[in-house]
């Protein structure tokens, strides 16, 4: 078996102890491609096997064209409440690191958080290096850590961005909640090939404590999982599965006819799906020493 190196715990686990599988992409342009992933037997984190051309894959990334409608406003309001619960104020400085198209930053500013800025290395309009020279009261990295080729370097960067006593909020998948034995049921969490390294809970908290961060809160479910009908993780999975199980299915026009043809499951997931979250995408909120 090929020897592998874990970029999360920086070890070479015994090849025979490594759990391996392949999974196809949940982005339409790469839907027919299979990507190899493996779980580290030391820290239980999940790693991508092959290197890929990330610039090519991000050139038409679905999340860069999110439609800013009432649905997005609702889930961003939930994200904002999480940050306010640990001290975010209108006067706070905040950076959304890995902000995609900047939609959450625009939401923050629209709510009066005028000191909010965004940075994303894959978005030319928002890859402004001077924003990385400042320090912030709040550093948000939602769905970012798992995309990094060198995740520990990214944690160091987040540490440098945070003021002493500042908050670092990391929303990232939890490898403990992913069953590689049925990887194709977890294609949206594995999100191949974009997700390079997915931390286990223990690995993330160990890396955080090693940098002097204190865990203040942990939210078990993604911020997009709400009690509003149709806005929950189970419904997203159900609806994508009615098509080709890609992200584009979620971002396109709503196919009402298809939902009506599957009315019992539509009703159950729309109204009660919030109870069926797999807890695959939690958020950990840390305080820097």
Domain CATH number, residue 206? 3.40.50.150
Question: Is 44 part of a structural domain of the chain?
Answer: no
Say yes or no: 69 and 142 in one domain.
yes
Q: How confident is the model at residue 252 (pLDDT cuts 50, 70, 90)?
A: confident
- The tokens describing 186, both together, are 């977890």
Q: Report the distance separating Cα 141 and Cα 139, nearest Å.
A: 7
Say yes or no: 103 and 240 in one domain.
no
Question: Is 71 part of a structural domain of the chain?
Answer: yes
Number of domains present in the structure of the chain: 2
Say yes or no: 109 and 135 in one domain.
yes
Mean pLDDT value across residues 204-210: 98
Say yes or no: 208 and 252 in one domain.
no
**6-34: per-residue pLDDT in tens?**
999 999 999 899 999 999 999 999 999 99
Question: Is 111 part of a structural domain of the chain?
Answer: yes
Say yes or no: 160 and 250 in one domain.
no
Distances (CA, A) of 134 to 44, 95, 150, 167, 256: 34, 10, 22, 15, 47
pLDDT at residue 64 greater than cutoff 80: no
Q: How confident is the model at residue 62 (pLDDT cuts 50, 70, 90)?
A: confident
pLDDT at residue 54 greater than cutoff 90: no
Say yes or no: 156 and 217 in one domain.
yes
Question: Is 129 part of a structural domain of the chain?
Answer: yes
Q: Give the rounded percent of residues in the chain with a pLDDT score beyond 90.
A: 89
Q: How many CB atoms lie within 10 A of CB 100?
A: 23
Residue with tokens 């194709």: 184
Mean pLDDT value across residues 157-163: 98
The domain in which residue 130 lies consists of 62-173+200-223+280-288
Q: Report the distance separating Cα 207 and Cα 32, nearest Å.
A: 35
Q: Is 132 helix (H, G, I), strand (E, B) or coil?
A: helix
Q: Give the rounded percent of residues in the chain with a pLDDT score beyond 70.
A: 100
The predicted structure's pLDDT at residue 123: 85
Distances (CA, A) of 111 to 90, 103, 114, 115, 140: 9, 13, 8, 11, 17
Using N-to-C axis directions, what is the helix angle for 70-84 and 103-110, rounded to 10°?
A: 70
Say yes or no: 208 and 237 in one domain.
no
The predicted structure's pLDDT at residue 256: 96
Q: How confident is the model at residue 167 (pLDDT cuts 50, 70, 90)?
A: very high
pLDDT at residue 65 greater than cutoff 80: no
Beta strands in the chain (DSSP E): 19-24, 34-39, 46-48, 94-97, 116-119, 136-142, 162-171, 197-198, 213-219, 283-288
Question: Is 219 part of a structural domain of the chain?
Answer: yes
Question: Is 75 part of a structural domain of the chain?
Answer: yes
Say yes or no: 284 and 268 in one domain.
no
Burial class of residue 134 (count of CB atoms within 10 Å of its CB; 0-12, 13-18, 19+) = exposed
Mean pLDDT value across residues 185-204: 97
Q: How many CB atoms lie within 10 A of CB 89?
A: 13
Q: How confident is the model at residue 158 (pLDDT cuts 50, 70, 90)?
A: very high
Question: Is 149 part of a structural domain of the chain?
Answer: yes
Question: Is 249 part of a structural domain of the chain?
Answer: yes
Q: Report the distance separating Cα 260 and Cα 256, nearest Å.
A: 6
Say yes or no: 103 and 206 in one domain.
yes
The predicted structure's pLDDT at residue 206: 98
pLDDT at residue 3 greater than cutoff 80: yes
Q: How confident is the model at residue 1 (pLDDT cuts 50, 70, 90)?
A: low
Mean pLDDT value across residues 44-62: 91
Per-residue burial over 247-280, b if 16 or more Cβ lie within 10 Å, else e, is bbbbeeeeeeeebeeeeebbeebbeebbeebbeb
Mean pLDDT value across residues 212-224: 96
Say yes or no: 132 and 250 in one domain.
no
Say yes or no: 78 and 211 in one domain.
yes
Say yes or no: 241 and 265 in one domain.
yes
Q: Report the distance separating Cα 3 and Cα 41, nearest Å.
A: 13
């Amino acid at each position: 078996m090929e020897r592998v190196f874990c970029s999360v715990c920086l070890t070479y686990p015994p090849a025979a102890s490594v759990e391996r599988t392949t999974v196809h992409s949940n982005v339409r342009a790469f839907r027919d491609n299979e990507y190899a992933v493996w779980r580290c037997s030391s820290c239980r984190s999940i790693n991508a096997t092959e290197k890929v051309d990330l610039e090519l894959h991000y050139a038409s990334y679905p999340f860069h064209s999110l439609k800013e409608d009432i649905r997005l406003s609702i889930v961003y309001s939930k994200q904002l409440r999480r940050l306010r619960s640990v001290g975010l104020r209108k006067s706070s400085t905040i950076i959304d690191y890995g902000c995609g198209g900047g939609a959450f930053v625009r939401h923050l500013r629209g709510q009066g958080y005028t000191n909010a800025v965004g940075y994303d290395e894959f978005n030319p309009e928002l890859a402004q290096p001077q924003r990385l020279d400042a320090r912030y009261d709040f550093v948000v990295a939602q769905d970012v850590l798992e995309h990094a080729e060198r995740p520990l370097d990214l944690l160091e960067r987040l540490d440098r961005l945070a003021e002493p006593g500042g908050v670092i909020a990391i929303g990232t998948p939890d490898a403990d909640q992913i069953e590689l034995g049925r990887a194709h049921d977890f294609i949206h969490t594995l999100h191949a090939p974009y997700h390079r390294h997915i931390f286990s809970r223990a690995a993330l908290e160990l890396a955080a404590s090693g940098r002097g961060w204190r865990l203040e809160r942990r939210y078990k479910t993604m911020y997009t999982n709400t009690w509003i009908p149709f806005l929950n993780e189970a419904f997203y999975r159900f609806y994508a599965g009615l098509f080709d199980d890609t992200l584009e299915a979620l971002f396109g026009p709503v196919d009402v006819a298809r939902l009506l043809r599957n009315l019992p499951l539509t009703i159950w997931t729309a109204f009660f799906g919030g109870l069926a979250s797999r807890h695959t995408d939690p958020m950990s909120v840390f305080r820097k020493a």
